[in-house]
Amino acid sequence: LLIRFNIVLSTSWMGNLLLLLSGLTMFMAGLGANYEFDLKKIIALSTLSQLGLMMSILSMGYYKLAFFHLLTHALFKALLFMCAGAIIHNMNNNQDIRLMGSLSLMMPLTSSCFNVANLALCGMPFLAGFYSKDLILEMVSFSYINL
């Protein structure tokens, strides 16, 4: 919905307000994920942080780039949630990461897929997250409004 109304956001004071709110969203979601022990909540808070990044890109007027990051993020985040569901199911429906030891021995394929999706979330080169985040960094460095 914000992508649809991007003209209003990029030409008024609302774009600056959205940039401030998106920066706070990224910071608070990242901080909250660091103090969480529930696997699904950690993944959900990282999604919230990425949505803050998409909103900040949108507030600068790059709506196509925000949509591209939305698509690439959905690609590897779906794999991350499916692997998390399989891990939780095999841990007898326990979501606490403090009790999840030696997953690579019990579930090697799921663990490796989880690690690949996590690396894509971090922006590892030649994975989906790298291309969108590299474009975001390039466009933000050329913008007069940047974080």
Read off the pLDDT of residues 47-101 as tens digits, 9 standing for 90 and up. Answer: 999 999 999 898 888 889 999 999 999 999 999 999 999 999 999 998 998 988 8
- Residue 51: per-residue pLDDT: 93
Domain count, the chain: 1
Question: Is 114 a member of any domain?
Answer: yes
Average pLDDT of every residue of the chain: 89
Question: Is 102 a member of any domain?
Answer: yes
pLDDT bucket at 10, cuts 50 / 70 / 90: low
- Residue 18: per-residue pLDDT: 85
Quote the domain boundaries for residue 37: 6-142
Q: Residue 1 pLDDT > 70, yes or no?
A: no
Question: Is 43 a member of any domain?
Answer: yes
Question: Is 40 a member of any domain?
Answer: yes
- Rounded Cα distance between 23 and 115, Å, is 27
Question: Is 1 a member of any domain?
Answer: no
Contact 112, 41 (CB under 8 A): no
* pTM score: 0.86
- Rounded Cα distance between 94 and 38, Å, is 9
Q: Which residues does 15 contact at the CB level (< 8 Å), separation at least 6?
A: 9, 59, 60, 61
